[in-house]
């Protein structure tokens, strides 16, 4: 029987961006790193999981509450790929067609 810590396929081993510490707290990105979809998702997960208040996340990462809420909206509507800035136009157009 395999556990979560022993993936069957070595390519399933999570990258640093995917790892959580022993207590389940997501590994948060440095405030100096460029934003990737996984880093944005980690911050959203930390706030939603109660590990970090939204105000602290916005202060630490120098983002506005509106920007954070837009990330949440995007991840809720389109999953992690919805956080990609290069795909934003496609998702925005799709939302307009739905409405």
Tell me, what's the pLDDT at 9? 44
CA angle at 15 for the pair 65 and 4, rounded to the nearest 5°? 105
pLDDT band for position 10 (cuts 50, 70, 90): very low
The first and second tokens of residue 27, run together, are 């590994």
For residue 15, pLDDT over 70 is answered with no
Mean pLDDT of 9-29: 55
pLDDT per position as a tens digit, 30-84: 888 899 999 999 999 999 999 999 999 999 999 999 999 999 999 999 999 989 8
Mean pLDDT of 10-23: 46
Contact 81, 94 (CB under 8 A): no
Tell me, what's the pLDDT at 61? 95
């Amino acid at each position: 029987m395999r556990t979560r810590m022993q993936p069957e396929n070595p390519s399933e081993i999570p990258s640093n961006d995917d790892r959580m510490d022993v207590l389940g707290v997501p590994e948060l990105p440095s405030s100096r790193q460029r934003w990737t979809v996984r880093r944005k998702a980690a911050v959203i997960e930390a706030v939603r999981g109660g590990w970090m208040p939204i105000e602290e996340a916005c202060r630490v990462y120098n983002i506005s509450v509106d920007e954070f809420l837009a990330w949440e909206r995007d991840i809720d509507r389109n999953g992690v790929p919805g956080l990609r800035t290069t795909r934003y136009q496609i998702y925005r157009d799709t939302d307009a067609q739905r409405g």
